[in-house]
Amino acid sequence: MEQIDQLSKLINKATSIVILTGAGVSTASGIPDFRSTDGRWTADHSREFYTSREYFLTEPEDFWLKYKEIFRIKLLKDYQPNKVHTFLSNLETLGKKVSIVTQNVDGLHSLAGNEQDVIEYHGNLNTATCPKCGKKYDLPFIMKEDVPVCNERGCHTILKPDIVLYGDPITKHSEAERAIESSELMLVLGTSLLVTPFSLLPSYAKQMGLPMVIINRESTPMDYLFDLIIHEELVSAVEQLEERL
């Protein structure tokens, strides 16, 4: 495929790459896409309400029950990185400087071995933090009780998950912009670029003059920004690409 050839040339030439990843990267690991047309969010709009900052602040106990149900968090620890994650960690092994800005909350990029710069733009499902004292807790602790509560002496505050809830501020945007500024190539994988402000990042890369490539099954409203647009299954595209690097 000619486009894959062109992409492999761009990757070979670049010493630093910023990669934006979305739900399409995780679906190959069996993790459902929450926002696609056949995804879980569209099936039931109340999910958005139950995972909002407002609902957490007003009904924290019921919030946790709904949250665990919605994210099937009990199963999450069994998910493993797939070929796309491995491909991105191999880029580091090849000596590239790799920054990943991900919308995914499953922590799989780090698990796959990317250790230079993984920016979890929408947070991480595998940890929770005490809003009062700031103590952080891992998944086994979060799952032990229906409603996880801080165990610091005299604190006993209900924990808040480390994902960005609807209504929470996005705190990683400027960090993502710094990653773009220090990169020579932008690669966008498996996201329809429908969620702001994440969807603004390709425009910023365009302003910075980076060559831009997107691989996504469907077209996106931002396709016009890209030099190379590959509408293909991600795993298949990555397999073809690996043969050429």
**CB atoms closer than 10 angstroms to residue 151:** 12
122 in catalytic set: yes
Tell me if residue 95 falls in helix, strand or coil.
coil
Comparing CB distances to Zn ion, the nearer of 16 and 157 is: 157
Structure-token pair, residue 173: 């945007």
Residue 149 CB, nearest approach to Zn ion (Å):
9
Residue 155 CB, nearest approach to Zn ion (Å):
3
Comparing CB distances to Zn ion, the nearer of 64 and 226 is: 64
**Separation between Cα atoms, residue 226 and residue 71, nearest integer Å:** 33
Note whether 217 and 230 are within 8 A (CB).
no
Return the closest-CA partner of residue 130 out of 93, 156, 97. Answer: 156
Residue 146 CB, nearest approach to Zn ion (Å):
18
**CB atoms closer than 10 angstroms to residue 233:** 15
Binding site residues, Zn ion, CB under 5 A: 130, 132-133, 150, 152, 155, 157
Half-sphere exposure of 136 (CA within 13 A, CB side): 7
Comparing CB distances to Zn ion, the nearer of 159 and 234 is: 159
Comparing CB distances to Zn ion, the nearer of 152 and 242 is: 152
Residue 137 CB, nearest approach to Zn ion (Å):
10
Q: What is the residue type of 157?
A: T
The pairing of strands 136-138 and 123-129 is antiparallel
- Catalytic residue from among 45, 85, 109, 122: 122
Comparing CB distances to Zn ion, the nearer of 87 and 137 is: 137
Strand ranges (DSSP E) for 14-173? Answer: 16-21, 97-102, 118-120, 123-129, 136-138, 160-163
Under DSSP, the state recorded for 166 is B
Residue 145 CB, nearest approach to Zn ion (Å):
15
The pairing of strands 123-129 and 160-163 is antiparallel
Catalytic sites, residue numbers: 122
